[in-house]
Structure formats: structure tokens, C-alpha cells
Amino acid sequence: MTHNIYLDNNATTPMDPAVFEAMRPYFVEMYGNAASRSHSFGWDAEKAVETARQHIADLLGCGPKEIVFTSGATESDNIAIKGAVEMLAKKGRHVITAVTEHKAVLDTCKYLESTGRADVTYLEVDKFGRVSVEQVAAAMRDDTILVTLMAANNEIGTIHPVAEIGALCRERGIWFHSDATQAIGKLPFDVDALKVDIASLSGHKIYGPKGVGALYVRRRNPRVRLTPVIHGGGHERGMRSGTLNVPGIVGLGEACRLAKERLAIDTEHCRGLRDRFEQKILGALDHVALNGHPEHRLPNTANLSFAFVEGESMIMGIPGVAVSSGSACTSASLEPSYVLRALGVGDDMAHSSIRFSMGRFTTEAEVDEAAVEVIGAVQRLREMSPLYELALEGVDLSTIEWDAAEKH
Amino acid sequence: MAYSDKVLDHYNNPRNVGKLDNADKTVGTGIVGAPECGDVMKLQIKVSDDGVIEDAKFKTFGCGSAIASSSLATEWVKGKTVEQALEIRNTDIVEELSLPPVKIHCSVLAEDAIRAALSDYRSKQGTPGAALTDAPAPSGSEG
């Protein structure tokens, strides 16, 4: 099955050729270890790493010494949460997060709970997937040491009120970590404006390489120190030991340089395509629901539920378009998306959801073709859907006592 | 996930999509599954005077394997007697469509749908001891 149109940029992005070109010399020719102080191989590598660090700092509005390189956002989230909980163990043990966070955050929190090292409050979200600053304030306790909330959600694109939550945390003297993986390159993300103390980001979501990411760790007001997860040679101010992935870091740096330079262009490009796509779909089909916030939403993301049509069969019906679904059937778990469930979207609509995420390299022609395919597939599948038939007959599906087979 | 050629064929060219008149006493209707589970199958049979299934139709909300399983089920029941149709097992469907373990529930549902349709037909005919399955047809459906 060949997918020609890639609308899954929230899963990963194609690497920008400029990023690839920037990385190229650092594999075969300039292979030095950035920690080697005794020869030019090492100095060249270190110089490249420091240039990259500066590019990332420029994007986030911070100092280069506040950037720690990691293997990606999952590792960044682990260091941020485990590192803060351990570092502040004498001060408190309470962490606040939300039910729609990425598994890298949720599973880390659950691990800390299960080992008795933290109490965690998982905030519920509203029907658009948002938490409010009031909710965060109400959850704070005397022993709260960390609030960890993503800037924007990967599945639905909903953006939390990060600046307000940052201001609250600063006022209360509580560290604020934000997983900015999806926000970077799609929204302005200035750590001072947002009052974020720790932030995670990943290379491959911003047209950079996989296997590299970064953690922003504030150095003053407040000075954040994190107990390392990986011990070793004391690289990265002791917060993340391990020989630096020089080509990856160079790629991440170049990706961040481009993200800063192109932020307005990329944002408008994606928003234009996303809105065009949504209008085409909503103009041609009824019973389509938007999952996520209509306004406070990533400009590239459209998560739509096509009622009466199951997500995996939808994906089969648009073989030329690469997308992802919140349906259980695309995962091994057979559980529909926990993010959509948290919004109160019924399981039936979660099974009917498809995420379309545009990117820098998506074209108008691709979006138009994808819309035609989607509309055709939905119409065809509704023709063979018993639920659509019942709905057309005026039967309220919620009144039916379904034979929820015990095999499920 | 890679689909077998047979699943793709049934998905792309589903056999016997449609509906039969449920008011007809020779028609049996089975609806199984639930929207919350991501699968609902409706399978209908029309039985001739001599007890042979002369027509079958389906509609399915579900993944490609669920659509293929129900499409195959309609193909298989046609021309069979009620008793013969009852002998169709989900494992036969798994084998025919090369369903992976994670999709076996689709075949189970298809077998349930066949049984539910046959059960409905028998109860309409007033056949004693008609209940073939524990699962009643969902109330509120099909008037």
C-alpha cells in the first residue's frame, strides 16, 4: 500500500533537506567526540554542538547553558519529572499533571507513584481538552513541587493556557515543566514570556532527525537543578551523561534555526491548508465532529470524527493518504484513544476519529486530493454502515441496548 | 498493519451490501456488537419455503477485517440450509481471510451475526426452541 500524501506530521516530520545537509559532514569527516579536548577533531565537534545549542536557545529565548541534549522528548520528560521529584524530595512530593498528557509524562508519573516517590494529581480536561489555570490553582498543595503540562496536545492539538499557568507556578514557587514537543515550530514558545522552568522538545517533530531532543532547564529565578537519570561522564552539566550525538545535535540545531526563521511562514502555510481541508470536508459531509479546541488549537491539526464510520476502515479507504486514527483497531490495545475519552467523546466517536496533521512540505494539491479521497471513503462506508442506516431512519443510537459482546 | 489479499478484496468489493425487508416473515435479522466496541454487524437472511437461504445482506460498522468477515459470511450462508449455516464457525472465517490474532474477534462477531439472524428467522417462523443464542437482537432496531 503506497501512501503518497503525508498528513501525519504530528507523528513525525520529513527531514528538511537543509537539516540533512548541515548534518552530513558530521558522520564521516568530522567525527570527533565533543568531549575530546586534546585535538581539533574534538574542538570541531564541540564548536558544532555549541552552535546548535545557541540555535535552540535563540528559538526558546533562553541562554545556551540552559539547554541539555537528550535522545528525544521522552527522555527529556523522564529527566524533567524524575529529576525534579528526586531533587526536591525534601521539599515535597506532590506533582500536578493532566489526563491528556503524552505517555512519556503519564507513565513517568505513574512509575513515581508506584514506587512511593510522588503523589500525582491528574487534572481532568474540558470537552475541548483544556485545563484552566483555576483547576491548577485548586490542585496545588503545600507540598506541590512540580506542575507538568504539555503546551499542545499531539492528538487533538489543543493548547493549554501555558502563560497563565506559568505565572501561577512562579507566584507559588512551584517548578513548571512543559512538554513543548508539538508546540515548537508551530507556536511562539518563549520560556520567559511563558514562565516555563523546564521544557522538552524533540528533533523529529520539527523537520530534524529522530533520536535527538533537548531539555530546557532554567538557570536562574528559579535555579532549577535536576537529579540525573543517566549517570556517567558528567556531560551536559551532569544532567545527562553520554557522548554527545554530534550529527543529531547539529541537525536539531539547524531544525531549530529554521523553525525560528520560518515560524510565521510555516504557521500560516499549515493553517491555510488545515482550514481549507476542514472546509472541504465539512462542506461535503454531515455528522462530522471536531475533536479539540476550535480556536486554541495547533494550526496544523484537524482531528475529526466521522460518525457511523470506523477509523481503521476509513484509513483503508484512503490508501493514498497517510493519517492516524484514535480507533482501537489501529493499536494493539483495542482501547480507543485515552485523549478522546478524556474529552468525553463517546467511545463510538473515538473509534471514528482520524487525525490529519499538515506540515511544512504539505501542498494545496495534496490537501485537495486528500479531501476528495476522504469524502468518497466516508460516503462509501456510510452506505454499508448499519449505524448510518439507523440514524437515517431516525433511531437515536444512544437508546439502543447493544449486545456488547463479552469477547470485547 | 498488513491485510491479506482476501480481506482487501472483500473490503474493496464487499459482497451483498444492503438490506432486506424486515417485515417479511421469511427474513431474519441479526445485529451484533456495539458502537463503543468499534464493531456493529447487521446480517440478514431470506429463507425460501424449502428452508434454503436464498439471499443474504449485510451492513457493518467496523474495521476492514470486520467488513470482510461479514461480507464473507453472507457469501457462505447463501445456498445453505438453516442447519448448514449454523455449522459455520469463526475459525473457518479466520482461516479463509488469514486474520491475525488481534482480528479474531471480527470473525467471532460474524459467527454471532449469522446465529442471531437465524435465531430471528426461527422465532418469526414460530419454531419451538427457537433461541439459538443468548443474545437477543438489540431492541429499538429495525422498528
Name the residue facing B14 among A310, A347, A384 (closest C-beta). A384
Q: pLDDT confidence of A7, banded at 50, 70, 90?
A: very high
B16, closest residue in chain A (CA to CA):
A384
Tens digits of residue pLDDT in A311-366: 999 999 999 999 998 775 555 566 788 999 999 988 888 999 999 999 999 999 99
Three-class secondary structure assignment of A213-260: EEEEECCCCCCCCCCCCCCCCCCHHHCCCCCCCHHHHHHHHHHHHHHH
- Asked if the model's pLDDT at residue A403 lies above 80, the reply is no
Question: What pLDDT is recorded for position A94?
Answer: 98
Q: Mutate which of A314, A345, A402, A406 to disrupt the B interface (most B C-beta within 10 Å)? A: A402
Question: What pLDDT is recorded for position A398?
Answer: 80
Average pLDDT of the segment spanning A367-376: 98
B103, closest residue in chain A (CA to CA):
A329
A347, closest residue in chain B (CA to CA):
B36
How far is the CA of A139 from the CAs of A119, A128, A158, in angstroms? 12, 20, 21
Q: Mutate which of B7, B12, B31, B40 to disrupt the A interface (most A C-beta within 10 Å)? A: B40
Query: Which of A130-148 are b and which e, b meaning 16 or more Cβ less than 10 Å from the residue's Cβ?
Result: bbebebbeebbeeebbbbb
> A400 CB near a chain B CB, below 8 Å?
yes
Q: Mutate which of B7, B17, B29, B37 to disrupt the A interface (most A C-beta within 10 Å)? A: B37
pLDDT, chain A, mean: 95
Tens digits of residue pLDDT in A74-89: 999 999 999 999 999 9
Which range, of A131-145, A176-190, B116-130, averages the lowest pLDDT?
A: B116-130
A403 φ/ψ angles, rounded to the nearest 5 degrees: -80, 80
Q: What is the ipTM of this complex?
A: 0.86
CA dihedral for B21, B23, B29, B31, sign (positive or negative)? positive
Average pLDDT of the segment spanning B81-98: 95
> B138 CB near a chain A CB, below 8 Å?
yes
Read off the pTM: 0.92
Q: Between A and B, how many residue pairs show a Cβ–Cβ distance under 8 A?
A: 117
Q: Which residue has the cell 529554521?
A: A258
Name the residue facing A386 among B3, B31, B143 (closest C-beta). B31
- Asked if the model's pLDDT at residue A169 lies above 90, the reply is yes
- Asked if the model's pLDDT at residue A222 lies above 70, the reply is yes
Q: How far is B123 from chain A (nearest CA, A)?
A: 18
Q: pLDDT confidence of B126, banded at 50, 70, 90?
A: confident
Using only C-alpha atoms, what is the Rg of chain A? 22
Q: Could you report how far apart the first and last alpha carbons of chain A are, in Å?
A: 29
Share of residues in chain B with pLDDT > 70 (%):
88
CB contacts of A311 in chain B (<8 Å) are: 38
Catalytic residue annotation of A: 329
Q: Cβ B64–A316 below 8 Å, yes or no?
A: yes
Report how far Cα A285 is from the mean position of its chain's Cα atoms.
29
B102, closest residue in chain A (CA to CA):
A332
